Chain A
Amino acid sequence: MEYTLESVESRIKTIVAKTLKIDTSNFGADTRLVEELGADSLDALTIAMDVDDEFGINVDDKELRRFNSCREIASAVLRHLQGRPASAGSVPA
């Protein structure tokens, strides 16, 4: 299956909206999850787990927590799906 940044973003937006109990129409792919949507560490954890389940991948949740918008998460997920670490070189083995 071919993933595009847009399709992954859209699915991540759905996960974020479900976790934060908001509507997907209320934020965009670049909206800052912490600063603008008030997400906290428990939300980040929930989002990370749901993203793993959604895409069948295993993203280091510490790594995911560094991303602060649906677009950043989607980019990381895409790199995982394409067989590359999300931020090669910066994540401790």
Chain B
Amino acid sequence: MYTKRVVVTGMGFVTPAGRTVPEFLQSIYQGKSGIKTIRHFDAAKFRTQLAATVENFDPGDLISEKDKSRLDRAAQMGIVAADKALKDAGLLTGETVPDSDEMGVVVGIATGSVHAVEKIYDESFNHHRAYGLGVPMAMCHSTAAHISIKFGLRGFTLTVSTACSSGATAIGMALRAIQSGDSKRLLAGGVDASITPSQLAIWDSLRVLSTCNSSPETAMKPFSKNRDGLVLGEGAVLLVLEELESAQARGARIYGEVAGYGSSSDGSHITRPSTHGEVLAMLRALESAGITPDRVDYINAHGTATPFNDKTETEALKQVFPNCRIPVSSIKPITGHMLGASSAAEFAAAILAVRDGLVPPTMNWQEEDPECDLDYVVEGPRKADLDIVMSNSFAFGGHNAVLVAKRVDGGLYGIHS
């Protein structure tokens, strides 16, 4: 059993639902969706013409003009999110991070450097020349690499790819690394930037995307009977995780505790989720946090608004929490499904919910579904005394990752069990 406690002391957002903590909070509590009609390429031939993009993304002076042409969009978003998280944690004065030899980064990324890959194919097939910067730009760990290069982080640096649970897996890996004593402080989260013609084409043909093109902001309807799929999003969400004693010693503001992490594999099908695998991940997360199911106050669901996910997740929740009366909500109608970044954004939402005692709503719910019969907080944000919040992420490949957030009382310095 691990004895070290790990807390979140910084958050960095580059998302369609906001680029600061207050903006993100405003979006998820006031239901301001980042889902819009795609304008940056012609999507008319696709069944779905919607996405949640980070509009007018510009890293400004943070990335040199030369590097803007060398770094994939995912890496650029990752650097900006890292910069915000480090500053938020009070760890960036000028360009220097304290103890940077000991600080690393764990990035969860589902699709890799998609814009770079499209550039490589364009150069190869349309211009018949090799794209010289292709390898360093497209390698899937380039986002983590560029974050470590930008901020001189020379600790444990890792890229994990578990599809839509990548960000949660990254946070889980970071938690373990700190608990085991390998690291004191890490940046961890998820990044994905893959709203491109080829990605939209393959997701579109998989028949999991919503086709509610005439109403972008209400397209995703998690747990509603008339739900018809997800909308792709992009973004980067990175958190600063550190050992509690280290955070206290430097007087850091503490958002909340990363109290537990559990993962599992469905071991069954590449795209169809399994109740059994999801149950295993939730139980392991609770065990890891040393708590029983009855202590969970709110569940931030995976809630993709696909017919199958929402039904399976509901079944799994009812197995872990018999007679479940716990509020369950999905923020994906606001952020879109940012793939690897979504699970990190959702854990951030869980940490902020325990801090603020406020449950974010599930937007766009319209019709009762007998197979989705839990309390999905459809009426709007709900005040609640939250101590423990669970955040679910269930990905293609059957890669399940569940995180547990715990309230930290005492704000600036203190923590009380």
Contacts and interface: CB of A to CB of B under 8 A. Distances in A.
Contacts of A43: 66
Task: Report the 6 A-B pairs with minimum CB-CB distance, sorted nearest first.
Answer: A21-B65, A45-B132, A21-B66, A49-B132, A46-B132, A42-B133
A21 B64 CA distance: 9
Interface residues of A, number: 10
A56 B130 CA distance: 15
- Of the listed residues B66, B130, B133, B136, the one surrounded by the most CB atoms of chain A closer than 10 A to its CB is B66
Nearest to B130: A49
A21 B132 CA distance: 17
Interface string A49-63: 100010000000000
Nearest to A43: B66
A81 interface: no
B65 A42 contact: no
Contacts of B26: none
Interface residues on B, range: 10 to 19
B69 interface: yes
Contacts of B132: 42, 45-46, 48-49
20 contacts: A19-B66, A20-B66, A21-B64, A21-B65, A21-B66, A21-B68, A21-B69, A42-B132, A42-B133, A42-B136, A43-B66, A45-B132, A45-B133, A46-B132, A46-B133, A48-B132, A49-B129, A49-B130, A49-B132, A53-B129
Interface of B: 64-66, 68-70, 129-130, 132-133, 136
B219 to A, nearest CB: 39
Contacts of A21: 64-66, 68-69
A21 B129 CA distance: 22
Interface string A24-51: 0000000000000000001101101100
Nearest to B64: A21
Nearest to A47: B132
A54 to B, nearest CB: 12
Contacts of B130: 49
